[in-house]
A and B are shown apart, each in its own frame.
Chain A
Amino acid sequence: MYNEMFADDRSVRGPYEKVAEWINATGVDLLNLRQSEAEAIFRKIGITFAVYGEGADPERLIPFDLIPRVFGAAEWRKLSRGIKQRSRALNAFLYDVYHRGEIMRAGVVPEELVYQNEAFLPEMVGVDPPGKVYSHIVGVDIVRTDGDRFQVLEDNCRTPSGVSYMLENREIMMRMFPQLFQAGIVEAVDSYPSLLKKTLEEVAPIKCDDDPTMVLLTPGSLNSAYYEHSFLADLMGIELVEPQDLFVENGLCWMRTTRGPQRVDVIYRRIDDTYIDPLAFKADSLLGVPGIFDVYRSGGVTLCSAPGAGVADDKAIYVFVPDMIKFYLGEKPILENVQTWRCAEPDHCKYVIDNLKDLVVKRVHGSGGYGMLIGPHATKKEIEAFRAKIRANPSEFIAQPTLDLSTAPILGSEGVEERHVDFRPYCLVGKDIRLTPGGLTRVALKKGSLVVNSSQGGGVKDTWILAE
């Protein structure tokens, strides 16, 4: 197991020197006090997160751990190149999927995985989104399994959330410990909103002949990520709209304002594909803007991300991302995938069924850490139940080895303790590819746990990228 702060001889690793110094100088008692102050600030500002299906408090806080997670400049250089490479390949793949389908013809990706995928939208075939961009914000979930080994756990091509935590966690740290940042050793993350805005501007639709009007489309204040939606809209200075604020007329999209209709050009939507347009997708949906998909197809408005982008972040497609990088970019993948068995393949399935106690099994379309099996931590009964589920519907599942995730220091009940972490950077794709030096570090707060999802008791940390 790779300990990010301490080497095997308990000496502090280079990137963590400053943090270790700070922990020692401040002392655990004062840090604990600051920790509760930080929570009070989060509550006051209203940064909360709702968890589906748990009832109880709809405005829960995600636990925040004070001790930053640190990447050195060299580590980030490699990560950053890998993330951008992956984002380019995923967008190239999406364009190909909705056009000639070369990668399927070449036999690199099996046809049925794409065309029979739930996230594949036949309505998108032949549509040309501005700049050929489908996924404008790519969230790549990365884990570290050794000093120089980073592996991608999954890609998020639709509307990855969590970026507000990257910004707010830093804000809180700077507010509480200004002296930590005075030396200028940590790269700033606060350019993210303006880079996102620039990205959205770059993908204005062809029918837009003026400065594009951009909006952020949210399902509403009951959505779990609502805080983030309002936060980003605010920082970009664009309207935060709900579906009922938008309507379609004369082949264009408009929002209802106090001065009458106003044209909308680019929509950063934080709402699922199927709820965008009841006329095109889900007729019984009360959400959505009737007719907007036709406006999109005819170049009257841009939707970010493009409908149907989810076909690229499916866990069964994930297996082929390194092949996509070779196929479209002619490059060697910089970031590794995690070895993955697709239960749809009979011999893979047999291996998985026989080795469940050592594997992590996930649903192909699942997300948020729900409905997965972590073999080494599961009871016999749970394993048997999963075995039956896989047998009944093998193509629904993939399996991966239990990864030896790296650990980072947290402030626990017994002082500084070690917990497993992952990392999600947010790569922006417009005419250019932009990556803010930072991201969201999620941490499994339960001792020994490998599940970092906030819906399953995970917390978050500030993430430092050290300046060169």
Chain B
Amino acid sequence: MLSRTAENLFWMGRYMERADATARLIEMGYRMAMLPGSNEQEEWRSVAAASGSAPELAHPDARNFSASAVVQRLLLDPDNASSIRSCLTSARANGRAIRTALTQDMWEALNDGWRSLGQMDADTALKNLPSLLEWTKHRTAAFRGASEISLLRNDGYYFLRMGGLIERADMTLRLLDVKYYVLLPETDVVGGGRDYHQWTSVLRATSALRAYHHVYKGDYTPWGIADFLILNSAFPRSVAYCYRSISRFLDDLAELYGERGSPQAVASQMVEQLDRTGIEELFQHGLHEFVSQAITTTRRLSFEISKAYHF
């Protein structure tokens, strides 16, 4: 496979995942801002911070700060490479550059309606926010579904999936990076309304609210939530799940190519670390330290993959 093709597939996977994760993030902000007793500004500010692409809005002294500014920046802004609009456009451009590596179903999922965010202004978007976010999630789901059922299971599929998983791990970690303080033990004592909101917001942004109930039987605790998002490999947005899957795809790739590449060392080291660490230990050593280190590792893994496969 051409290195450029692998690179395009990898980034297409990342862009689609980012569009999806950003939609969930905005959805979280939207829901939280509606709740009684919430600080609307604060909610939107943490959305801006977790997205990682709106630092000027995330700053507490940001001027002209508003929900509409955040939505504009994260949903519509063509100059923000991580806005939903840019992600869908870039994913399509990547796909178009390697049309021969995509199936017709995948292409149609990428091509369908990609222009529709182009003409929209922030106020219209804010009014129709729930349906726009639903639409985004449908687009990315259709693309994922099309790849699942139509793409050959070979290197192209592996690169596409690894791109998506790296992006997903990164998004979960960045959310934790912004929200880690609400999970710290000292905020646990009160257990009042605000904490409840904060914890559920983290789960909501990862679409994990209901799944959490099934696993932890109802009680929201900082440990439970952190355990779920980091260590629970049954939950498909957890760091453990993403890293295990990446490690498996790297194995598949090694088998196909007959040689093991350097990225596997990075991935499997992380998998081992997550396997042997309990959540108490993680809190003891510092949740924030762990999250920062994991973000760096994820970045390195992405770099090692592109280096090992010449893109």
Contact yes or no, B97 A259, CB < 8 A: no
The answer, yes or no, to whether B227 is at the interface (CB within 8 Å) is no
The answer, yes or no, to whether A239 is at the interface (CB within 8 Å) is yes
Q: Least Cβ distance of A259 to chain B in Å?
A: 6
Contact yes or no, B311 A230, CB < 8 A: no
Given contacts A46-B107, A257-B310, A258-B309, whether A245 and B97 have CB atoms under 8 Å apart is: no
Q: In the complex, what residues of A have CB within 8 A of residue B3's CB?
A: 245, 256-258
The answer, yes or no, to whether B190 is at the interface (CB within 8 Å) is no
Contact yes or no, A256 B97, CB < 8 A: no
- Distance of A245 Cα from B96 Cα, bound (Å): 16
Among residues 320 to 334 in chain A, which have CB atoms less than 8 Å away from a CB atom of chain B? Answer: none
Among residues 235 to 284 in chain A, which have CB atoms less than 8 Å away from a CB atom of chain B? Answer: 239-242, 244-245, 255-260
- By secondary structure, the A interface counts as mixed
Q: Least Cβ distance of B83 to chain A in Å?
A: 21
B93, B108, B112, B310: the one contacting A221 at CB < 8 Å is B93
- Distance of A380 Cα from B107 Cα, bound (Å): 50
The answer, yes or no, to whether B234 is at the interface (CB within 8 Å) is no
The answer, yes or no, to whether B2 is at the interface (CB within 8 Å) is yes
Among A44, A244, A256, A257, chain B packs the most CB atoms within 10 A around the CB of A257
The answer, yes or no, to whether B111 is at the interface (CB within 8 Å) is yes
Contact yes or no, A256 B4, CB < 8 A: yes
A230, A242, A244, A259: the one contacting B99 at CB < 8 Å is A230
Q: In the complex, what residues of B have CB within 8 A of residue A220's CB?
A: 97
Q: In the complex, what residues of A have CB within 8 A of residue B28's CB?
A: none
Among A241, A244, A256, chain B packs the most CB atoms within 10 A around the CB of A256
Interface size grouping (class) on chain A: 20 to 34
Interface string of B110-131 (1 = CB under 8 A from A): 0110000000000000000000
The answer, yes or no, to whether B277 is at the interface (CB within 8 Å) is no
Q: In the complex, what residues of B have CB within 8 A of residue A240's CB?
A: 98-100
The answer, yes or no, to whether B177 is at the interface (CB within 8 Å) is no
Q: Least Cβ distance of A351 to chain B in Å?
A: 50
Q: In the complex, what residues of B have CB within 8 A of residue A242's CB?
A: 4
The answer, yes or no, to whether A234 is at the interface (CB within 8 Å) is yes
The answer, yes or no, to whether B35 is at the interface (CB within 8 Å) is no
The answer, yes or no, to whether A390 is at the interface (CB within 8 Å) is no
The answer, yes or no, to whether A67 is at the interface (CB within 8 Å) is no
Contact yes or no, B4 A245, CB < 8 A: yes
The answer, yes or no, to whether A140 is at the interface (CB within 8 Å) is no
The answer, yes or no, to whether A356 is at the interface (CB within 8 Å) is no
Q: Least Cβ distance of A309 to chain B in Å?
A: 26
Contact yes or no, A44 B108, CB < 8 A: yes
Q: In the complex, what residues of A have CB within 8 A of residue B155's CB?
A: 258
Interface string of B186-225 (1 = CB under 8 A from A): 0000000000000000000000000000000000000000
Contact yes or no, B100 A258, CB < 8 A: no
The answer, yes or no, to whether B146 is at the interface (CB within 8 Å) is no
Among B93, B96, B309, chain A packs the most CB atoms within 10 A around the CB of B96
Interface string of B299-311 (1 = CB under 8 A from A): 0000000000111
**Which residue of chain B is the closest to A235 with respect to CB atoms?**
B100
Given contacts A44-B108, A221-B93, whether A239 and B257 have CB atoms under 8 Å apart is: no
B2, B96, B97, B111: the one contacting A257 at CB < 8 Å is B2
Q: In the complex, what residues of A have CB within 8 A of residue B96's CB?
A: 46, 221, 226
**Which residue of chain B is the closest to A215 with respect to CB atoms?**
B2
Contact yes or no, A258 B1, CB < 8 A: yes
The answer, yes or no, to whether A233 is at the interface (CB within 8 Å) is yes
Q: Least Cβ distance of A46 to chain B in Å?
A: 5
The answer, yes or no, to whether B6 is at the interface (CB within 8 Å) is yes
Interface string of B1-41 (1 = CB under 8 A from A): 11111100000000000000000000000000000000000
A-B contact pairs, 30 of them (CB 8 A): A44-B108, A44-B111, A44-B112, A45-B104, A45-B108, A46-B96, A46-B99, A46-B107, A221-B93, A226-B96, A227-B99, A230-B99, A230-B100, A234-B99, A239-B100, A240-B98, A241-B2, A245-B2, A245-B3, A256-B4, A256-B310, A257-B1, A257-B2, A257-B310, A258-B1, A258-B2, A258-B3, A258-B6, A258-B310, A259-B257
A interface residues, Cβ below 8 angstroms from B: 44-46, 220-221, 226-227, 230-231, 233-234, 239-242, 244-245, 255-260
B interface residues, Cβ below 8 angstroms from A: 1-6, 93, 96-100, 104, 107-108, 111-112, 155, 159, 257, 309-311
